[in-house]
Structure formats: C-alpha cells, structure tokens
Structure 1
Amino acid sequence: MKDSGIEWIGEIPEGWEISPLFSIFKERKQKNYNLKETNILSLSYGKIIRRNTETNMGLLPESFETYNIVDKSNIILRLTDLQNDKTSLRTGLVIERGIITSAYIALESVNTENVFFHYLLHCYDELKVFYVMGNGVRQNLKFAELSRLPLLVPPLAEQQRIADYLDAKCAYIDQCLDMTRQSMEKLRAYKLSCITETVTKGLDPDVPLKDSGVPWIGQIPAGWECTRLMTLCSEISTGPFGSQLHAEDYVENQTPLINPSNINNFRIEANYKCTLDSNTVSRLKRHILYTGEIIF
C-alpha cells in the first residue's frame, strides 16, 4: 500500500494511480436535435431508468430537443441543489441509449472500464465528496469544476475484475434485499391481521357475535358495544401552534416537539435535537402530551 495523498481516501494499492477526472472522462454534450432519440431516461435512486411521461411526475420540457443524447456506459451525475439535498443518490450508469435532461452532467471515456468508475463515483457520492467542491457557496457543480476531482485508477485489467466482482456481489445483495422486503410485507400484513381480528372479535373464537351496525366493522362479540369516540375521551384537542413559536424557543435535550415525522410504525420517536425550553412548554399547556394519550 501507499499514501494516496488524499485525506479522505487514505492508502491505496501500490500499483494504483491518482488522476484528475478530466484525464479519463470528457463531458458528453449532444443535443437531441430534430428529436432524433425518443427513449427518455431519468436518474432515480442511483439508477438510470426509462421515464414514463404519461404519469406527469415531475416537470416536462417544452421540447425534448434540449435533452442530451447519452449512450450505454455513460455515467450521469446530478450535481444541482447540493446545499438543500444531501440525501439523494446523484450518480447512475446508462444501460441503454436515450436522452436525459441537460441539467445533468454526462461523462464518457476512452479505453477505460466505466463500470469501475461508476462504482467509484457512487462511493464518492455516499461519502458526500461533491458537497465540499463548491466551497459551500454554489448549489451547482459544472464539469469544469468536477474535472479536477481526483480519481483512483487501477490497471485496466484490475478495473474489470473489480467491476465484475461488484456486479455479482451487488446483484446478490439486491436479491437478498428483495427477499427481505417481501418477508417484511408479509409480516406487516400478518401483524395488521392479528390486530384487526383481535380488536374487532376478541380472543375467544367461539364467542357469539352480533351486527355492530357499522359496515366496515361488521360483526362484534355479543357483549361488546359500539359508542362514539367522544364518550371515551375527556378532551380531543387539535390545532397548529407553529405560529406561536420563535427561534429562541428551540433548545436541545429538553421537552421534544412532536410532528408527523416523529410518528412511525405505532411509535412516537422523539428528536431531542428539536426540543422546547420549559418556559415555552408552560406557555403551551393545552398542547402538552402525556403518557397513554393517542396521537393521530
């Protein structure tokens, strides 16, 4: 191993080199004049996919002549809105010829294995490398700025071996994730079924039933009753109070402020970086939550 000279990379194999991006890639710019290509592509969750314009998801241009024609193995980077969005996956590998918005940067190379660099730039993306390249001022990166990005360059044969290994490994992991998601969906459905059956029919499978009078509830145990929510609650409170809060009211590690993002899978998960001081809490008494209360 040897020192790469790049702090966030550290050591690299002895036979590898460090080269600026412009020595390996050039920016591909080929406008779709006369609507030569009609296969519309988009970058979604780190993958380049065909875009369905009939769903009306997202803005569409007046003409797709402004779009950029890209080829298989080109690498696409979305380097816009860097300051406001630090969660999106911003790189993708083109798997078929098509057109994509010219707001994105398209890279094409000569005599190199693009799949390796696709994985490398994806790694850079996950490490949030792109976000510091604009010195914290610019929200967009142009190719001229990106071109100075240092890239790891193994020997060409090793690039191919690494790409082949990661293709196989990632395909296996994706397959495992799909199976896990399917299992989770089945478990969620089973959980919902258990809850629904128990709260509407009870624990005794042989109990006599009667009509609840509520179509979406159906039959209930004979000894049960249907009543309105208001008869079971001493108070039902509601109403936004954000306009009553000011920047100085927010502190850390005191009384948490609950909003919809804190309600997840039957639980309230408080964020103790978004809390209110005791004076503000006492001022907003009618909004205080207590153990055992239910939040919709």
Structure 2
Amino acid sequence: MNIIIVSKRHGRSRMVSSWVLAPVFLLLLTIVSGLGYLTYQSLTPEEQVIIDAKATEEWIDRVKSQSEELDKTRVYTEEQINALRVRLAELQARLTRLDALGERLVDVASLDEGEFDFSLPPAVGGPESGGIDYTPPDFVYVLDELASQIANREQQLNVLNSLLGDRKIQAETFVAGRPISRGWMSSRYGYRNDPFSGKLAWHDGVDFAGKDGTDIVSVASGVVTWAGSRYGYGELVEINHGNGYVTRYAHCKEVLVEVGDVVKKSDIIALMGSTGRSTGPHVHFEVLLNGKSVDPAKYINRVARF
C-alpha cells in the first residue's frame, strides 16, 4: 500500500510507502491506550462500581429486619386467632347453659312452651335499608351471631325471672291452708249457738281446737298489723297480706311476733291458748276481704294455681 502526499506550497506530490508510516500509527495507538488506562486508574472506587458493599449490607439488614417483623406479626395474628377460638368456645358453652336453664325454668313453671322456646333462634326482622356492601370474616360473623343469641336468651330469662318472681310473691301472699299444725275444726263460720249465752249468734270465723301451746302459723306472707290483747279476742295476731286480705288469729296463749314484722307463709306467729272469750284451748281464725269477713273454709282448702 502506498500513500500520496501533496504539498500546498509547490503543488507537487510525493508517494510514501505504508511501511514508513507504520511506526507512527503504533506510537499513536500506544499513546491513546496509555491515556485510557491512566483515566481508569484515576477514578474513585465509588465511580468504578454502581452499588458498593456498604449499601448492600444496609439492604441485607433491612430485609432481615422486615422478615423478623413479619414473623412477629404472623405469631401475634395466630395468637389472636387462638384467643378468638377460645372465646368462641366459652360463649357457646354459656349459651348452652342458658338454654338448659331456660328450658328447666319453663318446665318447672309449667309455662306455655311456645312462649319461651329456647331451642329456636330468636325471631328478628325489619324493613331493608341501604348499607355498605361488606362481608365480614367468618369468625367475626359467628361471634356477632353468638352474642346476639346470648342477648336474646338473657332477655328471655329476665322476663321469665320476673314472671317467676311475681308468681312466687302471689304464691306467698295467697291465703290458703290451716292456721295450725295440729288440731281439728271445732266451730264453723256463720250462725251458731253462743257457747256462753246459748242464743243464736253470728260467728265471724272458724275455730280450731287443740292442745294448749300448739303452734299457730300464718296462712300467707304479710305484715303484722296487730299483736296483743283485743276485746273479745284475747291475745290476737292480725296480718295484712295485701290485695285486700287480712287474717286474724285469736285467743292465743302467747304472741311471738310484733307489729311491723314481716312474716312468711307457715311461720309460727303464736301459741294456742284460751285467752279472752273462750271455753278452752283453740284458735279463732278469721279471713277479711276488703274489710268484710268471709268464710275461711274456702281458703283453708284452697289450692294455688300459679
């Protein structure tokens, strides 16, 4: 290969062989390569690499920390779910006991089974209204449903308890039974021959004869309104039972209660004697309704239906 060189000054040309210029090209190539190497060596380590070791370590530590946090969150979530399962089991056990208690009370109280049916879910309803279209997790729905059932059962039991309480009060204040634990009826209610004068006279109560000192009991719960001597009655106990009912127990040997005392059905209130206008140990028993005497016989054999 030959190279032609043209001179501007004289306008002449010369032919130069490529072998003569080869050392020049080699020199230029060596200079360029040297400059490139020196430039590379002059760069800082940060400029030589895109990601250094320090940044890599920081990222590794951050990933490790996030992994540990994730593990902690997973453990905490599992613990919470287990706690919810335990709580759910407790609520189900409570509901089972409430249902059993409710059914037992309904049976004991002889109530209509349709009124308090603890085997059926609570009846609910109401007009549809707009709301958020949201489907809660299964366990949340179960807990809400269970809480609703427990609230319904507690409401039924409160009503039932109130009903039974009213029935108990009615049963306690229900005038019924004999005023003595031992003895026999010696005189009935109405007209009879007076034991002192022999004339026909009205008798406001019934008499129960027995052994001196026999217990006299209250035929119903109430409040003592008289406890002491009274003309014709001797030692007298009078009890107000409410609803217009008052009972009297006369000719007592000893009075065991005081005015204002609250007595229960079958409580001993006095001992049988013969005080006042009496021919022997007995108790004169009266029943008054709204201030008027009534025949005690129908209350003596009265049967409560509650």
Q: TM-score higher than 0.5 here?
A: no
Larger Cα-atom Rg: 2
Scaled by the length of structure 2, the TM-score of the pair is 0.20
Scaled by the length of structure 1, the TM-score of the pair is 0.21
Structure with greater helix share of residues: 2
Structure with greater strand share of residues: 2
